[in-house]
Structures are given as C-alpha cells and as structure tokens.
C-alpha cells in the first residue's frame, strides 16, 4: 500500500501525530523511521473508518501508541500499538503484515487480535476464549498485555458515544479482568485510573456525589493534612534522613468499596489521605520507619514489610499506620526511588527505566513470565472454567509461607495446605494426605498464615477428592484437581462401559473376543466418538445404551454363540464410575442391582432397597443384574443401630466388642433417649462383606445390655 498523503488528515490529527513523533526521541533514527512507516500503513488501512464519536479511527491506535511511548517501550511494541486493529478491522492479512514489517511484529499484532471469525454460543464464551488467547500470547511476549491494557484504557476513556448498557458491560468486564491484571503486573497508576473510570461509567451519580464530597473534605482537612506533612518532613530532617514526603489521595473507587464493604458513611472513612516517603537507599527505609514511630504512635497490627517479602507483582514498600493529631489515622508508605518507579509502572518499569540505575527489573519480568505460565497450566477444554480460574488467581491479598528448606511461596489469602501442595508440584498435590504446619500435624484444609512452615505428607496410593474443589483457593490447584478427576473418571467409565457392552453381547449369545478387530474399528469410526475408548466411556456415562451399540456391532457379521444369562460383576471399589448408593449401603454378599444414572455412571443398590422399588416396577429395563466379584482386603462402610439399656459403661462395651470383631468404627451418634424406651446407638462401621457384618451383629446380641441390633436403612 502507498502511504496516505498528509493532506488527507485534519490539522488536529497532524498536530497529534507530530507530538507523537517528537516523543520518540529516546529511540534510534532507524526505529523512528519504521514507526512512521507503520503509522502511514495504519492510517491508510483505517482511512475510511470512523469511531462512534465521529473521530477518524486512526486517533485510537495513535492514542494507544502514545501510552506505549510513555512507558519507553521498544519500536516493535510502538508499531504493534499503531497496527493492533488492522487484522481485526481491515482487509489487511497477517501474511501482508509479516511481509511488510517482519514476523515479530505480525506475532504481536495477532496476539492482540480478537477471535472475531469464530462463532461462539454466547458472549461469555467468546469473552473467555478471547481472554485465553490473549494470555497465551502474553506468556510468549509480555508486551502484548501492556499494549492490550493501553488499548482498554483509551477505549473506556472514549465511550461516551456508546449505548449505556454497552458502556456498563465493558466497564464491568474491565473491573473484572483488566484492572486486576494491571494490579498483578504492578501498574498501580493504570489500575487506579481503570477503576475510577469504570466506577463513573457504572454509577455516574454516585461517583459525582462522592467526588464532590472529597473536594469538600480536602478543603476542610487542608490545615490538618499540612500539619501532618510538615511533621513527617521535619522529623526526617531532624534525624538526618534525606527524603521526599508527599500526600496521596485515595482513589474514588477504593473509597466507594470501603464504604460499601464496611457499611460506612463518607464521614466515617477517615483514611482518605495517605502519605509516601521516598528515600535513596533500602537502609534509609527502616531508619525513616523508626523515626516516624517516635513522632506518632503506630497502630498495632498495621505494619507490613513488603521490602523483605515483596508482593508477587514486584511491589516493595514498608506500610505503617500511625495515630496522628486529634487521633487521625495516618497511613504511610516508605520506599526507595526504584521501588516507587516499580510501584507506579510495574512491569513497564523494565522498559521505562532500563537505562537508569534502577536497571531493567529482570527479576520482575521473570516473575511475571512465571505467573503467566502458571495460568496457562490451569487450562482445560472449557474456556469459561479457565476464565473463572484466572479470575480467582487475580488476587490482591497474599500470604507468604515457607517450605522446610526455607523457600518462600506466595499464595492467596485463605489458601490451605492443598494449595501449597500443588504450588510445590502437581504430583505432591495429587498424592497429599496431610500436612505438618509449623511442625504440627494438621488437616489438608487448614488455612495458612504468614510465616507458616509447611511440609506435605504424601502417599503414592492417595488421590484428589472431588470435595477439594470447594476447599482450594488457587486456580492452579483447582485446574489440576479437575484434570486428575476427569482423567481418572474417564478411565473408570471406559472400563465400566466396556464391561457393560461385553455383558450385553454375552446376553445376545455372542463372545466379545470373536468379534473381528475391523468391526470394532468401524464401530468407533461410525459412532462419532474420537476412539473406541471414548465410546466405552460414553456407555459407562449413560450417554449411549449398550444394547443399541451391541446391535450396531452385530449387524456386520454372523458370530458364534456364547453362553447367555451373564451378569455384570463389580468389586465395589472401582471409583467414581461405580457408586454404591448411600441409602442402602450395599456390601459384598448383598443381592444387588444397578442402573446407569446419566452423567454419574453406574449406581448400585441392594435388591430390597425401598427407594428403588417403584422404579424397578415401572421401568424394569433400566435395571441390570449385578454380582459381587470377590476381592481381598477391601472394606465397606455400613450403618448399624444398636438398642441398649441405659447403663453406665455400655457404650464402651459395645465399641470394644465391635473392635474385637475386626471392625473399625468410622462414626458414632446417639438418638435422644426421650423418644425411645431404650437408647439407640448409631454406628458406621467398616466391614469386608455381609458375612463379616452378620458376625459383628451376632457378637453384639450376646451382650446382656443390648436389646436389639439392626442394619440401618437411610434415605437416598
């Protein structure tokens, strides 16, 4: 394409473009020439497009590029900002972009483009998939997220022409995802702007009232704030500490959130203002802290040392709250100049200050890359689920815990030992059974606190439990648990489905081994399942009927007959594919039947279970005959009720008898004695089979104080 002539653009655009070119002085002349070429290319590509506000479309990519230049990013990033919409909104192809500007730039622009050519079932799904693509690109090149954030900032600044409902939707999305990402990357200034702008878009009247109240409060408190500022600066000078002290007003949105979360009025929010102390060296931070603590009394429990233990986004400062004049709480942050740069610009400080003494913060860039990689590890086939995991992981509050070797791990507030185990290694999480927290044996659900030393106890036979999904806080742990459970359940369901299909074939007089391999392969191909294994899993899950699949298979050739009347055999310990009903608690030796519960596999009941009598009568084809297959060493839980005379020591005597019979008591409770003429003890015991249970019950009946013993039947 030939560059569009300058005369085609209004004077205001010329002025904006000239100011933009002037701001590129930190780059070499060759890079500036390439950027000017990229601008001309973008200007022509968007030449006939207008924004909803009526402005020429090129004003948007130019504004995004200006933000990138403020961060002193390299030429490729500036060019990508100028061209970030050409693949999505114009006829320019990626190949054309690559031929003109190179593969690095085309990769950056592609990472910034939405998936507009793919149709999704819902906006939510599209949003989740777009976000996944952005994160994957971010993991390869962190410049993509910085350009994306600059793009979002300009979009929400210029949404006046959009419908109110669309403005609110975009603002909520920004608060939900983009603002937390900005915070997670340490872009504090951008984070505050995104929050405040979105707040004004979502609640314009509330924002207007609150801003007016803040202006009034600023005037009323000017004398007090000046006194505090003078006091802080004077004390530091008195101690010989060279420092810059300045006040900072809390953001509009943070005050609103505090009022809402703590149910406070505006007048009750006393800490609208805070103060920053910026010094030259790290040692001066602690000297300044000591000096200020002698000036005003510190509030107990309100001190945080983010210098010794930096936040995951690289943020470092000392935080303390002091009791100032007239009992006013005074929040103070103490940091060095380099820390202040990182606190304001985060990962962008890598480019912004790479030539200064602050240095390119390589450690922060490495941390960011590791965080992005950890997010990608939580991916599953479900985009919405991945989206939720990432939202969980964008947390502002963290706890710092230690491994036995002294390594520090950062976890979200409320995280437990399971989160810690998965943070160490996936295999540690999958096989954890307990934890030593500060050398004390603790359950896996125990919440961790700052400074805890955690050691995980593992067992090769242990595996994640579905209940863990409701306990963990990190997206990594949740994603790993879901992946493990799905993998295990898929294998179990495939094994169950295969046995069910084989049983159906046997009942039709066909030996499964006599079916030709080619027929099995054709069955898988024609069924629409990715593989025969997946077809078996669908049968086990109840998505396909074994009788129908068997008929399709047998339609291909005549096969030798097999013995009929076969039944499905189970161990009862297969896992999630076969569930023993909680209402009747079947154990080996009980006559049993089973039915496929769609989405849950095979559910097994005792033959005399009252909960299934109506279903067996009305829908007999649903139920299949099942037999127990003996397996040594396996235990099953079953409930029994023991009626006893109200006599001292009887509970201990019953418990001892159960133990002598070779059974373990899992749970015990007692019915209210006022409802019975005798007390009823409810035990959950572990037994190997029905014969073992009958032995326990016979032994209990020999105790003189025992009136009756029965097997409990609970509700489904």
Kindly list the catalytic residues: 88-89
Q: Per the structure block, which two tokens stand in for 592? A: 């049993």
Classify residue 144 by its DSSP letter.
Answer: H
DSSP strand pairing (623-628 vs 568-570): parallel
Q: Per the structure block, which two tokens stand in for 470? A: 């409701």
Start-end of H helices in 53-122: 59-70, 75-82, 86-89, 94-101, 103-112
Spatial separation of the C-alpha atoms in residues 364 and 354, rounded to whole Å: 12
Cα 261–158–396 angle (5° rounding)?
A: 30
Spatial separation of the C-alpha atoms in residues 624 and 592, rounded to whole Å: 9
Closest of 307, 314, 210 to residue 257, by C-alpha: 210
Distance of CA 290 to the CA centre of its chain: 40
Tell me the residue length of the chain.
Answer: 716
430: left (phi over 0), alpha (psi -120 to 50) or beta: alpha
Residue 631, number of CB atoms within 10 A of its CB: 13
Q: Per the structure block, which two tokens stand in for 276? A: 């920053």
Closest of 122, 115, 188 to residue 149, by C-alpha: 188
Spatial separation of the C-alpha atoms in residues 678 and 539, rounded to whole Å: 50
Spatial separation of the C-alpha atoms in residues 128 and 386, rounded to whole Å: 8
543-579 residues labelled b (16+ CB within 10 A) or e (exposed): ebebeebbeebbeeeebeebeeeeebebebebbbbbb
Residue 96, number of CB atoms within 10 A of its CB: 16
Residues contacting residue 103 through CB under 8 Å, at least 6 positions apart: none
DSSP string, 573-604: -S-TTEEE-TTT---TTS-EEEEEETTTEEEE
List % helix, strand, coil for the chain (3-state, nearest 5). Answer: 55, 15, 30
Q: What is the dihedral of CA 505, 509, 513, 516, to 10 degrees?
A: -80
Distance of CA 167 to the CA centre of its chain: 26
Spatial separation of the C-alpha atoms in residues 293 and 299, rounded to whole Å: 10
Burial category of 503 from C-beta neighbours within 10 Å (exposed 0-12, middle 13-18, buried 19 and up): buried
Spatial separation of the C-alpha atoms in residues 108 and 129, rounded to whole Å: 18
Assign 3-class secondary structure to 295-352: HCEECCCCCEECCCCCCCCCCCCEEEEEECHHHCEEEEEEEEHHHHHHHHHHHHHHHH
548: left (phi over 0), alpha (psi -120 to 50) or beta: alpha
Contact 666, 685 (CB under 8 A): yes
Residues contacting residue 608 through CB under 8 Å, at least 6 positions apart: 584, 591
Residues contacting residue 199 through CB under 8 Å, at least 6 positions apart: 206, 207, 252, 253, 256
């Amino acid at each position: 394409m030939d560059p569009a002539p300058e005369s085609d653009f209004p004077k205001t655009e010329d002025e904006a473009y000239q100011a933009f070119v002037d701001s590129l002085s930190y780059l070499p002349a060759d890079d500036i020439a390439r950027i000017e070429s990229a601008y001309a290319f973008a200007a022509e590509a968007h030449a006939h497009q207008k924004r909803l506000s009526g402005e020429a479309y090129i004003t948007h990519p130019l504004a995004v590029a200006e933000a990138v230049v403020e961060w002193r990013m390299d030429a490729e990033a500036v060019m990508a900002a100028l061209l970030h919409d050409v693949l999505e909104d114009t006829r320019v192809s990626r190949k054309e972009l690559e031929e003109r500007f190179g593969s690095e730039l085309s990769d950056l622009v592609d990472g910034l483009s939405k998936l507009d050519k793919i149709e999704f079932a819902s906006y939510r799904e599209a949003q989740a998939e777009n976000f996944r693509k952005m994160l994957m690109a971010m993991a390869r090149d962190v410049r993509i997220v910085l350009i994306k954030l600059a793009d979002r900032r300009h979009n929400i600044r210029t949404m006046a022409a959009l419908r109110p409902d669309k403005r609110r939707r975009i603002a909520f999305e920004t608060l939900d995802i983009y603002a937390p990402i900005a915070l997670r990357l340490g872009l504090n200034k951008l984070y505050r702007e995104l929050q405040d702008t979105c707040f004004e878009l979502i609640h314009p009247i509330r924002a207007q009232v609150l801003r007016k109240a803040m202006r009034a409060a600023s005037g009323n408190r000017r004398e007090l704030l000046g006194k505090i500022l003078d006091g802080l600066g004077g004390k530091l000078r008195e101690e010989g500490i060279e420092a810059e002290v300045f006040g900072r007003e809390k953001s509009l949105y943070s005050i609103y959130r505090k009022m809402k979360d703590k149910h406070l009025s505006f007048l009750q929010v006393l800490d609208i203002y805070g103060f920053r102390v910026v010094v030259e060296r790290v040692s001066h931070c602690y000297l300044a802290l000591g000096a200020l603590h002698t000036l005003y009394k510190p509030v107990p429990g309100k001190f945080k040392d983010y210098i010794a233990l930096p936040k995951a986004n690289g943020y470092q400062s000392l935080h303390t709250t002091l009791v100032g004049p007239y009992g006013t709480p005074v929040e103070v942050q103490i940091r060095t100049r380099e820390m202040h740069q990182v606190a304001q610009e985060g990962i962008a400080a890598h480019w912004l200050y790479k030539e200064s003494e602050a240095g390119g913060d390589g450690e922060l860039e490495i941390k960011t890359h590791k965080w992005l990689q950890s997010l990608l590890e939580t991916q599953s086939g479900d985009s919405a689920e991945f989206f939720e995991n990432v939202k969980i992981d964008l947390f502002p509050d963290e706890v710092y815990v230690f491994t036995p070797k002294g390594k520090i791990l950062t976890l979200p507030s409320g995280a437990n030992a399971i989160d810690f185990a998965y943070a160490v290694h996936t295999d540690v999480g999958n096989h954890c059974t307990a934890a030593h927290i500060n050398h004390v044996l603790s359950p896996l659900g125990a919440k961790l606190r700052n400074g805890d030393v955690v050691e995980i106890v593992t067992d090769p036979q242990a595996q994640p439990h579905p209940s863990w999904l409701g306990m963990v806080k990190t997206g990594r742990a949740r994603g790993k648990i879901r992946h493990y459970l799905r993998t295990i359940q898929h294998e179990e369901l495939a094994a169950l489905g295969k046995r069910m299909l084989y049983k159906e074939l046997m009942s039709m007089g066909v030996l499964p081994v006599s079916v030709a391999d080619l027929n099995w392969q054709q069955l898988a191909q024609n069924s629409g399942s990715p593989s025969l294994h997946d077809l078996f899993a669908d049968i086990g899950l109840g998505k396909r009927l074994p009788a129908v699949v068997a008929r399709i298979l047998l339609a291909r050739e005549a096969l030798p007959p097999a013995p009929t009347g076969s039944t499905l055999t189970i161990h009862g310990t297969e896992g999630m594919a076969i569930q023993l009903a909680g209402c009747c608690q079947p154990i080996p030796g009980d006559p049993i039947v089973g039915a496929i519960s769609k989405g849950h596999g095979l559910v097994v009941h005792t033959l005399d279970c009252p909960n299934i009598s109506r279903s067996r009568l009305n829908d007999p084809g649903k139920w299949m005959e099942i037999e127990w297959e003996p397996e040594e060493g396996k235990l099953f839980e079953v409930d029994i009720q023991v009626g006893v005379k109200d006599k001292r020591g009887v509970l201990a005597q019953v418990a001892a008898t159960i133990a002598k019979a070779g059974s373990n008591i899992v749970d015990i409770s007692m019915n209210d004695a006022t409802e019975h003429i005798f007390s009823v003890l409810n035990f959950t015991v572990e037994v190997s089979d029905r014969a073992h249970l009958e032995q326990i019950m016979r032994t209990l009946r020999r105790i003189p104080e025992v009136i009756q013993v029965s097997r409990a039947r609970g509700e489904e």
